[in-house]
Structure 1
Amino acid sequence: MKFFKSKNVNKGFLMVEILIVASVIVGAFIVALAVAQNSIFVARSALYSAQAGFLLEEGVQAVKILRDNDWDNISALSASTTYYPAFSSGTWTLSATPSTVGNFTRIVEMDSVNRDNSTGDISSSGTDDPGTKLFTVTVSWAGGPQNFSKTLSFYLSDIFTE
């Protein structure tokens, strides 16, 4: 008997090659889309973080301007109360009314400062120092499914009192 080799042994192999190439192309496209999406997210996060930094510094400067105008602007504030800085009629104010700047919420909180009776250093207990206050400025924003915030705390003194 004679054995004949069939010429159709490779029949269908071209189809398998096409499926493999198509799968590789689709996979590469999906990976490229995921990389692009992550790049956009990282760029947007960096932009929001930079904007928040500027708003944080602006909040600090607003409080300092209030102090420079008159210490009574500072001493009239209630401790542990949330305030919102607002620029109105050419001047800064701290309002109890929530306000936002774009996607950002900026809050200012003031706390009293105590001084050690013997050393005069700032301490957790001691005599209240009406000429020094601790301020905390916080800027928060939504970044997709999670919220972000930046916080800066600083002491402010009544430097213009004689």
Structure 2
Amino acid sequence: MLFSRGQQLIEVILALAIFFAFLSGAILLSGRSLQTFRSAQELTDVELILTESLEAMQSIASTNWNAMTIGTFGLTSQGGAWQMQPSPDSINGTYLRTVTIDGTERDANCALVQTGQGTADPSTMHVTTTISWTEGGQNKSREVGAYFTDWKTPGACGETGQASNLDIDISLASIDATKKSLVGVVLTNNDSSSITLDTMTLTWTKPGEIGYIKIEGTNYWHSSNGTGSPQGEQPSGTELDLVDLVLEPEESYDIDVFRFDEKVDGATFTITATMIDGSSTTEVTTPPFVP
């Protein structure tokens, strides 16, 4: 009888041990799942804030270029309009947004160069937006950079001809989930007359070749179906002769995709658009892009 009771007691203890071990594992797994969910939600929040910030800076640059001065700022919305404030701004008490504006320099050919290697260009500024937050006791941050140009008074390096009225908006440009496509670039004709896009030249700082360019759902250059020239996938720096794109007055056109055969995430892109009259305009992106 004593042996039987002792055996039952041991079985109860073993059962309790197994139960508590299972419970501890379940609690640990639940905690990790919750942390993963929170991390994913924070990244989603940060991506939305970065997108909002780029849109805000694009609005400020377009409507009040004089506000684009070198320094560190925050953003605030008053009366439905974005403005810069003299210090970084807090978002929901969780994220800190810092907007840094740096001047740019160009060489004799009007190409953007590193500081100290050219002449200051007051009509072009480089803007970096940084979002900082704390997660699990660790400091984290993400940032995105873009160039903004005063297209109304572009200065000595400003474009002439039809190109002076073409805006290449890269403020919402990103790399897609495959990491092989540049998306989100928008072309806008700011003139009261139509203008015509003739060729595009892209350079990028990663391996790989370009396969096609699709604008508003239509291929305007494709490496293998006879659309545009030259045919075949092309390396960085090749001038691509597109099917002429006529941009109507004050209309915008989405470049759906620049498609590459290898991953181009983290690359810097230079996009040059040449118009039918031979004039051209260039924009330069800086990684990382908004995912």
TM-score range, shorter chain: 0.7 to 0.9
For 2:142, the equivalent position in structure 1 comes to 150
Aligned residues: percent identity?
A: 24
Which whole-Å CA distance do the structure 2 matches of 1:142 and 1:88 have between them? Answer: 28
Shift of residue 121, structure 1, vs aligned partner: 1.3
SS where residue 12 of structure 1 aligns? Answer: helix
SS where residue 114 of structure 1 aligns? Answer: strand
For 2:130, the equivalent position in structure 1 comes to 138
Select 1:36's aligned residue among 23, 30, 33.
Answer: 30
Shift of residue 161, structure 1, vs aligned partner: 2.4
For 2:95, the equivalent position in structure 1 comes to 104
In 1, are the aligned partners of 2:126 and 2:147 still within 8 Å (CA)? yes
In 1, are the aligned partners of 2:72 and 2:88 still within 8 Å (CA)? no
The structure number with the bigger radius of gyration is 1
Structure having the higher strand fraction is 2
Alignment of 1:9-28 (within 5 A): 9-10=3-4, 12-28=6-22
Which whole-Å CA distance do the structure 1 matches of 2:81 and 2:2 have between them? Answer: 87
Letter in 1 for 2:107: D
Which whole-Å CA distance do the structure 2 matches of 1:161 and 1:94 have between them? Answer: 21
Shift of residue 160, structure 1, vs aligned partner: 2.2
Select 1:113's aligned residue among 104, 112, 125.
Answer: 104
Q: Which moved more, 1:94-103 or 1:18-27?
A: 94-103
TM-score, with normalisation over the residues of structure 1? 0.86
In structure 1, the gaps of 5 or more residues are 1-6
Alignment of 1:121-136 (within 5 A): 121-124=111-114, 125-136=117-128
Measured against aligned partners, the alpha-carbon deviations of 1:110-133 in whole angstroms (never above 9, x if no partner) come to 11111122x321111111111111
Which whole-Å CA distance do the structure 2 matches of 1:8 and 1:136 have between them? Answer: 78
Select 2:82's aligned residue among 77, 92, 115.
Answer: 92
Structure having the higher helix fraction is 1
Which whole-Å CA distance do the structure 2 matches of 1:17 and 1:120 have between them? Answer: 83
Which whole-Å CA distance do the structure 2 matches of 1:9 and 1:18 have between them? Answer: 14
Relative to structure 1, the CA distance from residue 111 to residue 97 in structure 2 (aligned partners, 3 Å threshold; closer, same or farther) is closer
- Alpha-carbon RMSD: 1.6
TM-score, with normalisation over the residues of structure 2? 0.49
In 1, are the aligned partners of 2:99 and 2:129 still within 8 Å (CA)? yes
Relative to structure 1, the CA distance from residue 139 to residue 43 in structure 2 (aligned partners, 3 Å threshold; closer, same or farther) is same
Say yes or no: does 1:72 pair with 2:55: no
In 1, are the aligned partners of 2:88 and 2:99 still within 8 Å (CA)? no
